[in-house]
């Protein structure tokens, strides 16, 4: 069973097609959206063996000329050096401005391939086949592409929207369990910030989610994409001031940062190694809920409800052992916090959040220990 989410942007609209086993229809999916016939598939070596190589064959059988470019798995591939290798290989192997780029992989491949697509000959048509849960519910929606600088994640990049996103939930069967659970943290986040009924749906279906039931997976990915698309449509270029949401104005992309002020500090303090991003977000949401409780925004029942769902999904992670003062210091250096003022997205009730920059350091520190 297939589901579609339409993302409506100022310059163009595109579909996110979600289904089980639907990657076999990649050729038709592209044909409906482009006139081109030369495809550059960018992937990593894990995903190449599992899926991308076979998808290249699917396109070749459909008459496409196909190049498969393979990078090393992992965050270090999101670098300008990797881009240079890709640009040069593309040039040497005959790609031109009539080629399309198809990213097949997780968020690393998507961010990297999107940036390569945006820049090669000033911009190629771009498609995404995200293969991690995180990339299916988060990084493939919204058009942010780019690479890291040493010591500064996502510092160089641009907005480059795809012509289409094809999501096959079947590929999640091979995803390592930890990566899968890390993706679920962002799914829970959408429920907390925007959609109480969706949060309740996750509570009711935790077992099916853990068993990777295809129908339930299709539904949670569809709803997550829909919610992220709604925010991106309101604030395509991350230009809406965070405060406006709370004056009855437009949604701001900032609300997607729920749990992330804490999470970025946790990732930095653990050297980006021991914790996956989604794990850091899960703890970050637990801390944010506790901070909101200390400030009287939510009650203890809210905190417990969120803890219980995260635990049911295998995400009862605790804050890293570190001096809370150091964590506070790292939060004030987060690039999303303008001029060193820490801003938190905090819940007011399930499905609603607000921007908070007024807080006591003791409350933040207290919300870090449980």
Kindly write out the interface string for residues 4-43 of this chain, putting x where it contacts ligand NAD by CB under 6 A and - elsewhere.
Answer: ----------------------------------------
What is the Cα 202 distance to its own chain's centre?
Answer: 18
Considering only residues 142 to 171 of the shown chain, the ones binding ligand NAD according to CB under 6 A are: 142, 144, 154, 171
Radius of gyration of the chain (CA): 20
Considering only residues 102 to 131 of the shown chain, the ones binding ligand NAD according to CB under 6 A are: 105-109, 111, 131
Interior angle at CA 102, CA 68 and CA 157, nearest 5: 110
253 is catalytic: yes
72 forms part of the interface with ligand NAD (CB under 6 A): no
110 is in an annotated binding site: yes
Instruction: Scan for tokens 């049911």, then name that residue.
Output: 312
Q: Which residue among 23, 78, 189, 264 is the active-site one?
A: 264
Number of residues that bind ligand NAD (CB under 6 A): 27
Which of 13, 24, 174, 369 binds ligand NAD (CB under 6 A)? It is 174
75 forms part of the interface with ligand NAD (CB under 6 A): yes
238 is catalytic: yes
Q: Diameter of the chain by CA atoms?
A: 64
Q: Give the containing element (helix H, strand E) for 147.
A: strand 144-149
- Which spans in the chain are helix H? 26-31, 45-47, 53-61, 80-92, 107-119, 133-134, 177-194, 196-204, 206-210, 214-234, 260-269, 277-294, 300-312, 324-332, 361-367
Q: State in angstroms the smallest separation of the CB of 54 from ligand NAD.
A: 12
**Is 56 in contact with 41 (CB distance < 8 Å)?**
yes
Q: State in angstroms the smallest separation of the CB of 345 from ligand NAD.
A: 16
Catalytic positions, please? 122, 144, 186, 228, 238, 253, 257, 260, 264, 277
Applying CB under 6 A, the residues found at the interface with ligand NAD are 44, 46-47, 50, 73-75, 78, 105-109, 111, 131-132, 134-135, 138-139, 142, 144, 154, 171, 174-175, 179
């Amino acid at each position: 069973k297939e589901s579609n989410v339409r993302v409506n942007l100022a310059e163009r609209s595109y579909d996110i097609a979600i289904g089980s086993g639907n990657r076999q229809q990649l050729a038709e999916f592209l044909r409906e959206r482009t006139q081109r016939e030369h495809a550059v598939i960018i992937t990593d070596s894990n995903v190449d063996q599992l899926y991308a190589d076979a998808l290249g064959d699917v396109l070749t059988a459909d008459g496409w000329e196909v190049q498969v470019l393979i990078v090393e798995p992992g965050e270090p591939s999101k670098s300008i050096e990797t881009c240079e290798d890709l640009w040069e290989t593309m040039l040497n192997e005959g790609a031109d401005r009539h080629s399309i780029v198809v990213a097949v992989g997780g968020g690393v491949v998507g961010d990297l391939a999107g940036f390569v697509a945006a820049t090669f000959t000033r911009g190629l048509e771009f498609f995404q086949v995200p293969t991690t849960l995180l990339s299916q519910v988060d990084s493939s929606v919204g058009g942010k592409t780019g690479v890291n600088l040493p010591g500064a994640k996502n510092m160089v990049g641009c907005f480059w929207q795809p012509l289409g996103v094809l999501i096959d939930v079947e590929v999640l069967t091979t995803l390592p369990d930890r990566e899968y659970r890390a993706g679920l943290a962002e799914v829970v986040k959408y429920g907390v910030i925007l959609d109480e009924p969706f949060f309740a749906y996750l509570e009711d279906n935790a077992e099916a989610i853990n068993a990777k039931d295809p129908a339930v997976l299709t539904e949670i990915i569809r709803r997550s994409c829909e919610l992220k698309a709604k925010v991106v449509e309101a604030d395509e270029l991350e230009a809406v001031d965070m405060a406006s949401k709370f004056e009855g104005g437009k949604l701001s992309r900032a609300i997607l940062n729920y749990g992330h002020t804490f999470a970025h500090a946790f990732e930095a303090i653990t050297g980006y190694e021991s914790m996956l991003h989604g794990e850091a977000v899960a703890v970050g949401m637990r801390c944010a809920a506790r901070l909101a409780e200390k400030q009287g925004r939510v009650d203890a029942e809210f905190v417990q409800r969120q803890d219980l769902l995260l635990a049911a999904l295998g995400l009862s992670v605790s804050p890293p052992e570190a001096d809370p003062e150091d964590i506070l210091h790292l939060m004030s250096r987060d690039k999303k916090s303008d001029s060193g003022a820490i801003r938190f997205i905090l819940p007011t009730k399930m499905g609603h959040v607000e921007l908070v920059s007024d807080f006591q350091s003791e409350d933040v520190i207290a919300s870090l220990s449980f």
